[in-house]
Structure 1
Amino acid sequence: MPVNLTKNAIEAISVGDLNLKPLVQVLEIRPVSSVQERYRILVSDGVDTRQALLAVHLNLKIKSKELRIGSVVQLVEYICSVVQNRQIIVILNMETIMTDCEIIGNPKLSLDANSASQGAASSTITATRQPEVRKIFAPTPKPSTGSPCRSGSSGRTSSSSMSIMSNGNTSLHNPNTNASYKPSPVYKKHGAVVRNEAPAHIIPVAALNPYQGRWAIKARVTAKGDLRRYNNAKGDGKVFSFDLLDSDGGEIRITCFNAVVDQFYELIKVGKVYLISKGNLKPAQKNFNHLKNEWEIVLHATSTVDPCPDDDRSIPERQFDFKSINEIENVENNSIIDIIGIVTNVNPTTTILRKNGMETQKRIVILKDNSGLSVDLTLWGDVCNREGENLQEMLVSGSFPVLAVKAGKVNDFSGKSVGTISTTQLFVNPDTPVTQILIQWFNEGGKDFASHSISRDVVPGSSHNEIRKTISQIKDENLGQGDKPDWVTLKATISFIKTDNFYYTACPLMIGDRKCSKKVTKVASGNWCCDRCDQEFELCDYRYLLQIQVQDHTGLAWLTAFQESGEEILCCSAKNLHLLKYEQDHARFAEIMHSCLFEKYIFKLKIKEEIYGDEQKVKITVVKAEKVKASLENRYLLTAIKDFVFKNSKTQKIY
C-alpha cells in the first residue's frame, strides 16, 4: 500500500507552522540522558530529516512496541525549539498510523539552520547507499505482497488519513497536504528565525517543558499567596506566588522574588486573565506546591505579564477535584485535597499558643455529606474571624450552607481532619453540580441523618478524642517511631508492678509557680542537694516512677507511670508508700501494691521512641489511668459495634 508522507513537512515545521499535523516516518530511536526517562527520535518526510524529542507520556508507545524504527506517525501536537543551538521538534502528542514500514524516499540529514557546526556532519543519503540505510534503520523484511509497507500486529490506521482511490487502490496520505507544502507568505524570503526575536507562541499549560525556547500561556489567576519575607545565607528577601488555570484545565504556580515582587505583586489580581511569557521553568517544589504539575515558573525582570482586555470566558473561574468524606479516611497525612460538604456546626474561636511562643486563633467547622460521614475542618488565623463568623451567622439564621474547600491539608492526629493553610480557599454555596446534589440530599432527609465523624474516635464519657488501640496494634503499627509522639488509649489489666524502685527522691523547691521536681542526692552533711537549683535542704519529696506490666487479649507491655498517674493507680502518695515500706508497716505496703493487680484500667498513653545510651527504645508513658466502669465501657462497645457495621456497609461517592 503506497504511503505518501507530507512533502516538505520538515521545512514547514522549521519555519514555525504548528498546525500542519504532518505524516512523517521514524528512522531512529535512542534514549537521552535526563532526570526523567526520555527518548530522542529522528523523523523524515521522505527527503529531509530532523531530530525530535518525545514528551514523557509518549514513552509508553516505545515500550509497548507501538512506535519503532520504520513507523509512520502523524504529529498531532508539537513545537519547534532550540536546544544548545540545535533545532529540535518537541512532540507533545502523536498517532501511530503504520507500525512497520520500509524506508520511504531518500531521506538526508538536514543542515540545522541554527547550528552551522552541524554542516560538516550533514550528508545526503544517495540511492547507492539506500540498502545500507535500510539495514541500519529498518531491519524489517519486505512483505510478500511486494508493498513497501506492512501493518504490524499492533499497527493502527487512522481513518482520517485513508482515502479510497477511483482505481481501487488504497492510498495513505495527509488530508491537509494533497500537494507539496508551500510556506506561508509571512515566512518567504526569511532565513532562520533568531530565538530571541521569534514571536511567543501561546501553548497550553500542560505542554510547558524546559526544552522550549519562546512560549506564552494565557490563564486565569485562581489564587494569590501573601507577600512573605525571608532571611537566608544570601541575606533578606521577599517572595509571593500565584496559581494559574488555563482553558484546557492545566494548572501551574508562578513565583516571584525580590525586585520582581515589586514589579508584579500589585498587578496580579485573583480572577483576572493574563498573557505571560519569558519565565524560567523549574521542577515544582512539592513541599510548597500542591498543584498537579511537575513544573513551576519563576519570573524575572524581563518576563512579561499582560492583562487580557477581554476576559476569556473559555477559561473557568476555578477548578475542583473533590474527594467525598469517606475517601478522606484513606488519604495520607499532609496530603492537599479539595472537599465539599454541608456545614452543620461552627464552634467558637479559641486562642492557642504555638511552639514558637506566638498566639493564633483556631475554629472548628463540621462538614457532612451523603456518604454518611462528617469531618472536622480546622480554620486557622484570620480565617476564623472572616469566613468563620460568616458561616456561624448563616447557621444562626437557620440556613445550612454548602462549603467548598480548595487546597485543604489532611491531618491524621486523633482521626482524620482537614485544616486550612496559606493557599486554602473557601467558597460558600459555590455554583457547581455537587452543590445542588448536596442541597437536594440534605433537604430530602440528610439533615436528620446521624453521620459518623472520621475526625474523632471518642470513648463515651471522655471529654477528649481518644484512639483505642490494643497492645499488638501498638507494636505492629510501630507507634512512637515517628517525629512526634503517638497518643492512644488502652484497656488492659495490670499483671505486675516492680516494688524495689517505685519512686525517686525529688527537689521540693519552687521555680516560679511550680516545683523543680528534679532528682536529688544525699550529701555528706545529711542534707539533700539539687544540681539544678544548686542548693541543699533537709527534706526532699518522693515522686512515683512505677514500672507496670499490663496485658490484654493480644499480648504484654511495660508502662511507666509518674507521679499523678501513679497516685491514680495506687490511690496513695509515693511518700506514704515509702514510709510504709521502710518505717511503718511492710504488710500494709504489700497489701496496697497487690490491691491494683488484675484490675482492668483505661490507660491514656504517650508513646515515643527515646535514646538510652546508644540504644533506641520505645517508651510508653501513662498520662492518665482510670479503672474500667462497666456502664461506660458497655456504651463504648455498643458504639464500636455500630461504627464497625456502618463502616463495612456499602458507601457510595456522591460526585
Structure 2
Amino acid sequence: VNESSMVTSSQNKKIQRYRLILSDGKYFLPSCVLTVQLNELVLNGQLQEYSIIRLDRYLRSDLKGQTAKMILQILQLTVLDITTHKIGNPVSLLTADLNEKDSSTITTTKDVLQPKVTGSVLKRPIVAITNEQPVLPPLQSTITITKMDIDSIKTNRLFKIETLNPFQNRWTIQVRVAYKKPVRAFSNGEGRLFSCDLIDETGEIRATGFGDECDRFEPMLIVGNIYYITQAQIKYANKQFNTLNNDFEMTFNNETIIETCIDNISSIPIQHLHFISIDQIQNMENNSFIDVIGIVMNINDIVHGKSKQNKDYTKRDILILDQTGQIIVTLWYQMAENFPMSCIRTKIMLKGVCVNDFNGGRTLSVLGSTQLTIDPDLPLAHDLRRWYLEEGMNIEMTDLTAQSTNQETIPWKTFAQVTEYGTNVSSTGTGELCRVKGVCVHVRHDPVYKACTRIDCKKKLQENNDGTYYCSKCDLHYEDYKLLYMASILLSDSTGYQWVNFFEKESEILFGFPAEQFPIGKSKDDEDKAYQKLISICGEEKLFLIRVKSTRYNNHDRLQFTCVGVESVDAHLMCRLYLEDIGRMCRLSSN
C-alpha cells in the first residue's frame, strides 16, 4: 500500500469511500476502491501506509474497454506485514507495456464494474478486512446487454445484491420478488408508480418503476416468483421512505430488461427477516426500523385528527405482545381503516416498523413502507401462538410503552452534574437517563389541565364560547373533559437545582392523589387548598429518574428535563452507593 485516501461521493455527501494506491514493487495501480460496507473498519488502524497485503476478493472494471482506465473494487483483503518504506520503484500499470509483464503479475479478476468516484481527498489509515464471502462471477469482456444475449449471461455473469452499487453499469441479478406495493398516483395526481422488494441469498433491495415502466413491469412481477433483471439504475436509498437494510435502491428505466426464471431456486429465500423480541426494543435507537412478531391483544377505535401542519390524518392503535412484553403499534391512514377488528388474539408480523419515543417509553409506528402480515406462516409465529394458548394469556406482561429501563445501569448524578451531563446529550435520539436524590422546592401554579376524554388521547382541549370543548387532535367537540397532571417542579440538592417536567403517572406518585381530585373550576378557596396540598410535598427527599434531552426551539438548542420515575429514599441503597464512592475516592488518592 503506497498511499491511502478518503473520497466523498458527489451524489451523496454522507457516503464516504476509501481509495488505495497498490504496488507489487514493479507496477502500481492508482485506482483501488474499498466497498462502502468496509468503512466501519477504517479507523481501527489495522491497515496502514506501506502495509503488505493480499487481495482475497475484488472486482475489476475496464472503463470503455480500455485497460488504461482499469479500477479495482476491493471486497476482502488480508494484512500480511507492515513496512516503513516503499518497496522498489514501481511505474504506473496504466502506462506500462502490459504485453511484457508476466501473466502472474496480475491475478485474474472477477468482474466488471464502472465506478465514478469524485470528491475531496483526506489522508487516513485504511483497513479492509471482512468475513463476508460474496459470490463473484468470472471475468467477462465489457459488453452491451441486449435481449439477445441475456440468456448467455444468466449463468456466468450473475451478480449478488450485496455487490450492487451506483458505480456499476454491467450486471445481471437473479432475484425473488418478496413484496410488491400496488400502483399509486403521485401526490399531485400526475403520473403513477409502483415499488417492490427484491431479495437473493445475500440481501434485499427496493426497486421502483415510474410511468411507462410502471405499466411494463408491475403486471409481470408476481410476489414469490424469481426473475432475471439487468440494466436498471442503482442509486443511494432515500431512508425516509426505504426501510430495507441496503444503502442503495433500484429504479427501472426504458433500458431495463426483466425475464422470468422458470426454475425455483431454493437457495433464494422467501423473505429476509431479522426479528427482535419486544423487550429488546428499548435498546433500539429512536426512528430505527425493526422486524417484530406479536399477538394482537387490543384494537382501538379509529382516531381522526389534524397534524401540526394542519393536515388531516387517520390512525388506530393496537396492542401486541410476545413472550417478553407488550407494546403499542400505531397504524396510519389506509392501513388503520382496513385493519380488521376480528384480529384480536391473532398473530401478526411487522417488517420495517419504526421505533418511536413516547413519554419516556417506546411505541412502534407502521409507515407506508412497512409490511404488515396477518397470521404469517412462520415457525416463530407458530411458536408464539402456541405459547400464548398454553400460558401467555394468563401472564401479566411488561408494557414497553411505559418507561422500562434497567436502573442498575443508570448513573447517579447531582444536580450540578445533571446540567453538565446534558451539555453532552445529542439533539437526536432518546436523550440520556440519570438518577438524582433531591427535594421538591416549588410547584408552579396550574399543575393540571383539561384533556380530551378519549382513553387514547391526552391532548389539551380548547374551550369554545358555548362552554363546550374542542380537541384539535381528534377533531371532535366535547361537553366534558378529564383532568391530567402536567406539572413543572423545582428540584434541588446541595449542589444546585433544576426545573423538571412531571407528567400524569409521576405527578400522581409524588402528590399522592389523582388529578381528577383537583377542584379546578370550583371556588378559588378550594383551588388554593388543593394547591397547598400539592406544595406540602416540598422539602421531602425522593429518588428521581430523570431523562435529559436536547431539543431545538427557534433555531436554539435547549435542554429538557423530564421525570420518568419517582421512588422513596432507600437508606440501604444510599449507604451502599456512598460506600462505593468512598472506596473509589480512596483508590484514586492512593494512585
> TM-score normalised to the size of structure 2?
0.58
- Whether 1:403 aligns to 2:348 is yes
Where does structure 2 lack aligned partners over 5 or more consecutive residues?
10-15, 102-126, 130-137, 405-414, 430-438, 447-462, 470-486, 502-514, 538-548, 571-591
Q: Looking at CA atoms only, which structure, 1 or 2, has the larger radius of gyration?
A: 1
Counterparts of 1:15-414 in structure 2 under 5 Å? 28-31=2-5, 33-35=7-9, 36-42=16-22, 51-58=31-38, 60=41, 64-66=45-47, 69=50, 71=52, 73-82=54-63, 87-96=69-78, 98-99=80-81, 109-110=92-93, 121-122=95-96, 193-194=142-143, 201-230=157-186, 236-248=190-202, 250-343=203-296, 345-355=297-307, 361-371=314-324, 373-384=325-336, 386-392=338-344, 395=345, 401-414=346-359
Instruction: Render the CA deviation track for 1:479-508: whole Å, top value 9, x for unaligned.
Output: 9x999xxxxxxx97876869xxxxxxxxxx
The 8 Å contact of residues 17 and 34 in structure 2, kept in 1 or not, is answered as no
Give yes or no for contact 1:494–1:551 (8 Å, CA) kept in 2.
yes
Aligned partner of 1:426 among 353, 372, 397? 372
Give the SS at the match of 1:442.
helix
2:534 maps to 600
How far off its partner does 1:454 sit?
A: 1.3
**Deviation of 1:246 (Å):** 0.9
The 1:329–1:257 alpha-carbon spacing in structure 2 relative to 1, beyond 3 Å, is: same
Please give the alpha-carbon distance, in whole angstroms, between the structure 2 residues aligned to 1:227 and 1:450. 43
For the Cα contact (< 8 Å) 2:201–2:267, is it kept in 1?
yes
Contact 2:275 2:291 in 1 (8 A): yes
Q: Name the CA distance, whole Å, in 1 between partners of 2:428 and 2:57.
A: 49
Tell me, in whole angstroms, the C-alpha distance in 1 between the residues paired with 2:333 and 2:441. Answer: 44
Give the Å deviation of 1:216.
1.4
Letter in 1 for 2:20: R
Change (3 A) 1:363 1:213: closer
Q: Distance in 2 between matches of 1:104 and 1:92?
A: 21
Contact 2:363 2:401 in 1 (8 A): yes
The amino acid across from 2:172 in the alignment is A
Contact 2:328 2:363 (8 Å CA) reproduced: yes
- Displacement of 1:339 in angstroms is 1.0
Change beyond 3 A, Cα 1:617–1:513: farther
Across the aligned residues of Structure 1 and Structure 2, the Cα RMSD in angstroms comes to: 5.5
Q: Distance in 1 between matches of 2:379 and 2:63?
A: 45
Residue 271 of structure 1: SS of its match in structure 2? Answer: coil
Map 1:544-559 to 2 at 5 A: 551=490
How far does the alpha carbon of each residue in 1:65-94 deviate from its partner, in whole angstroms, 9 at most, with x for none?
557657352433424352796543433433
1:640 and 1:452 map into 2 onto residues whose CA distance is 24
When residues 71 and 124 of structure 1 are mapped into structure 2, their CA distance, relative to the original with a 3 A threshold, is same
Residue 398 of structure 2 corresponds to: 452
Contact 2:32 2:74 in 1 (8 A): no
Q: Matched residues in 1 for 2:169 and 2:384: separation?
A: 47
CA contact (8 A) 2:518 2:530 kept: no
CA contact (8 A) 1:109 1:123 kept: no
Q: 1:427 to 1:496 in 2, by over 3 A?
A: closer
Q: CA deviation at 1:441?
A: 3.8
Cα distance between partner residues in 2 of 1:42 and 1:601: 73
Assess, with a 3 A threshold, how the Cα gap between structure 1 residues 374 and 265 changes in structure 2: closer, same or farther.
same
Distance 1:273 1:340, change over 3 A: same
**Shift of residue 108 of structure 1?**
6.8
Distance in structure 1 (CA, Å) of the matches to 2:442 and 2:63? 74
Please tell me whether the aligned partners of residues 62 and 142 of structure 2 are also in contact (alpha carbons under 8 angstroms): no
User: Secondary structure of 1:317's match?
Assistant: coil
For 1:619 and 1:514, locate their aligned partners in 2 and report how far apart those are by CA, in whole Å.
34
* Cα distance in 2 between the residues matched to 1:340 and 1:615: 40
Per-residue CA distance 1:570-590 (angstroms, 9 max, x = gap): 7546xxx7xxxxxxxxxxxxx
* Number of corresponding residues: 433
Residues 90/432 of structure 1: CA separation in 2 closer, same or farther (3 Å cut): farther
- TM normalised by structure 1 equals 0.53
Contact 2:550 2:557 in 1 (8 A): no
**How has the CA–CA distance of structure 1 residues 602 and 289 changed in structure 2, closer, same or farther, with 3 Å as cutoff?**
farther
Distance in 2 between the 1:207 and 1:280 partners? 14
